[in-house]
Structure 1
Amino acid sequence: MEPARKIDEAETKPKRSRKRDREKTRQEILDIALEEFTENGFAAANTDVIAARAGITKRLIFYYFNSKEELFVAVLDAAYTKMRRAEEDLGLDGLLPEAAIRTLAAFTFDFDQNNPAFVRLVLIENLLHGRHVARSSKARAMTRPIIDQIRRVLARGVVEGVIRPGIDPVELHMTLSALCFFSVSNRHTFEPQFSYDMSSSEAKARRRAEIADLIWRYVRKE
């Protein structure tokens, strides 16, 4: 008589539970990989370290992501997804044009301030000449909703006579991103050179208001 086969624990779990476990494991890998990449850069980031910190084997990382390159692309996608989903919830279409522009400016500033790892990740990818984000069709597709929102706000403002015509929504988004990004990415070099506070809550609130005013003054119709 053959000995009874030992049943693996995974076989006893409902399929939905196993799916949740896989999703949880994948997310844990992404969270730890984000830390590893932003702490050490792409080249020096170590998948052995990521596996050890996640309490899994390196083989499992490659089961989910195939390669270190694909893992980095997935980390980028996850980081941008977090931002783009939050942008979609701003409800700019339901606001008056000035309120919509100021809300977008405040959100962008706050997001960068609250997610310095996102800023570092973008800096790292730019040092790599954007080779990973260029491979991500998802990253490109995710930009459309916010650009479409900005385009509608601008068009509505022109019709209402409060925003000047001819503003490119991508240019406006780029200008706003640059202003907010700088406040995080260049803080540690700007502060000591100019002896200027950029880190206190008062300084951040002042800069946040300044950026919102700058953007509104740029788009408004005189």
Structure 2
Amino acid sequence: MSQTSEAPGAAADEAVLPGAHAGRDTPEEQPSTRDRILRVATAEFARHGATGTRVERIAAQAQVNVRMIYHYFGSKDDLFLAVLESAYQAIRDAERALALERTSPEEGMRRLIRFSWDYYFAHPEFTALLNSENLQQGRHVARSQTLAAVHSPLLERLTELLARGAREGVFRAGVDPMQIYVSISALGYFYVSNRYTLSAMFQRDLMSPQCLEERVAHITELVLGYLLQPATPIASHAPRKKNP
């Protein structure tokens, strides 16, 4: 099924499938129909990808008519974009709770690195959705009207953290905040998305607690090793050179 072939613009239909409300939470606790569709769609797109997901399956699991999905989202492409926007908004909201502006520059960077690492494992659907969108060459994200605004506050806080670190003589000056964030993401994302093949190739359980802690410590050391001024040493496993 193509991603744009499924009758966008169908008339609104407020009816749900028989038994849709059976065993549901109280009315105060029920998510809205749109939120319920979005939650089910997130799981389906994470499992089957942008092209393998079927709107009919989402409708059945969300206990709504297919037409209602088109009423709220317009098309399967638009639904996938809404899922991506929701996923990005969730991680940005969680990052805001780090309160980087209230920490020392080094502690703020450590928090951001640890947060990014932990988030990938706590939300495997996030990496799955990103994998799917990259297979689509980012075409959904490219037409989003909200994601640029979602990312701006993060870059602003990171810019301020780096600038404060430079003013205090802790961080080197002239660091591009986007490059730092991409590096932090890449160092964790590759490990998470390739953990099965890497474990098989290296004959090690890369998901063991020891390996996971070693990896996040390694990421932290790499990033801070780049950021910190030479006068601010960090722990290193490299052997010290003896004086001649």
Q: TM-score, normalised by structure 2?
A: 0.80
Question: Would you tell me which structure has more helix in proportion to its own residues?
Answer: 1
Which amino acid letter does the alignment assign opposite residue 65 of structure 1?
Answer: F
Counterpart pick for 2:135 among 112, 127, 136: 127
Does 2:59 align with 1:70? Answer: no
- Following superposition, the deviation at residue 20 of structure 1 comes to 8.8
CA contact (8 A) 1:38 1:120 kept: yes
Counterpart pick for 1:182 among 177, 183, 190: 190
Counterpart pick for 1:105 among 90, 105, 113: 113
- Following superposition, the deviation at residue 81 of structure 1 comes to 0.6
Counterpart pick for 2:97 among 70, 85, 89: 89
Per-residue CA deviation, residues 182-216 of structure 1 (Å, 9 max, x unaligned), is 12111111110111221122221221222122111
- Give the structure 2 partner of residue 13 of structure 1: none
Does 2:43 align with 1:44? Answer: no
- Following superposition, the deviation at residue 218 of structure 1 comes to 1.2
Which amino acid letter does the alignment assign opposite residue 169 of structure 1?
Answer: P
- Give the structure 2 partner of residue 14 of structure 1: none
Could you say what secondary structure the match of 1:137 adopts?
coil
Does 2:221 align with 1:210? Answer: no
Per-residue CA deviation, residues 19-71 of structure 1 (Å, 9 max, x unaligned), is 996x6211111111111111111111000000001111111111110100110
Per-residue CA deviation, residues 67-92 of structure 1 (Å, 9 max, x unaligned), is 00110000000100100001111111
Which amino acid letter does the alignment assign opposite residue 93 of structure 1?
Answer: E
Could you say what secondary structure the match of 1:132 adopts?
helix
- Following superposition, the deviation at residue 166 of structure 1 comes to 1.4
CA distance in 1: counterparts of 2:205 and 2:218, whole angstroms: 15
Counterpart pick for 1:35 among 43, 47, 50: 43
CA contact (8 A) 1:105 1:176 kept: yes
Per-residue CA deviation, residues 113-152 of structure 1 (Å, 9 max, x unaligned), is 1111100100100010000001112111111111111111
Which amino acid letter does the alignment assign opposite residue 144 of structure 1?
Answer: S
Counterpart pick for 1:152 among 152, 160, 184: 160
Structure 1 stretches of 4+ with a deviation exceeding 3 A read: 18-21
Which amino acid letter does the alignment assign opposite residue 90 of structure 1?
Answer: L
CA distance in 1: counterparts of 2:33 and 2:189, whole angstroms: 31
- In structure 1, runs of 5+ residues without a counterpart are 1-17
- Following superposition, the deviation at residue 102 of structure 1 comes to 0.4
- Give the structure 2 partner of residue 9 of structure 1: none
Does 2:170 align with 1:166? Answer: no
Per-residue CA deviation, residues 85-105 of structure 1 (Å, 9 max, x unaligned), is 011111111111110110100
CA distance in 1: counterparts of 2:158 and 2:203, whole angstroms: 36
Q: TM-score, normalised by structure 1?
A: 0.88
CA contact (8 A) 1:102 1:213 kept: no
